[in-house]
Amino acid sequence: MVELGDTTRGRIRVGLLLGLAGLVLAGCETGGTGSPGIGTAAGAAAGAGAGRLLFGNSTTGMLIGGAAGGLAGNMTLDRQAEARRQQEREASRDADMQRQLDFERQRALQAAETEREIEERRLFEQWQRERNAPQG
C-alpha cells in the first residue's frame, strides 16, 4: 500500500475543504436548493467524504464528518431556501392585500361618482320642472 506523506495529505485536506466551501457558496449563489433537505443530504455526503479523507477509512470519522456536513448543509442551504420561500409567501400576501385595498378604494370612488351623478340629474330635473311650471 502506498503511504501518503504529510505534505500530500495536508494538500488533500486543504483542497477538500476548499472544494466543500466552493460547493456551499455555489449553492448559495444559485438561489439555494430546489427541494427541501437537499442541502442537508449534500452536506452529509460531502462531510462523510471529508471525514474519510481526513481520518482514513475510519467509520467513526465518516459518521462525524457526515453529521457535521449535514448540519452545515442544513444551516447554509436549506434554511436559506426556507427563509426565501417564507419571504415570497409574505410578499404574495402583501400583494393580495394591496389588490383588495385598491379594489375597495376604486369601488368607493365609483359609488361616490354614481351618487353625485344621480344628485345632479335630480337637481336638473327639478330645475326643469320649476322652469316649465305655469307662472301664476
- When pLDDT is averaged across residues 37-55 and rounded to a whole number, the result is 75
pLDDT tens for 11-28 read 666 666 666 666 655 555
State residue 71's pLDDT score: 79
pTM for the predicted model, two decimal places: 0.43
pLDDT tens for 64-89 read 887 887 777 777 777 777 888 899 99
Amino acid at site 6:
D
pLDDT tens for 94-126 read 999 999 999 999 999 999 999 999 999 999 999
Crossing angle between the packed helical segments 6-29 and 38-55, to the nearest 10 degrees: 170
Query: What span, in angstroms and rounded, lies between the C-alpha atoms of 63 and 69?
Result: 10
State residue 92's pLDDT score: 96
Select from 86, 90, 88, 69 the least CA-distant residue to 27: 69
**Residue 4 zone, left/alpha/beta (φ > 0; ψ -120 to 50; rest):** beta
Q: Specify the DSSP class assigned to residue 69.
A: H
**Which pLDDT band holds residue 1 (cuts at 50, 70, 90)?**
very low
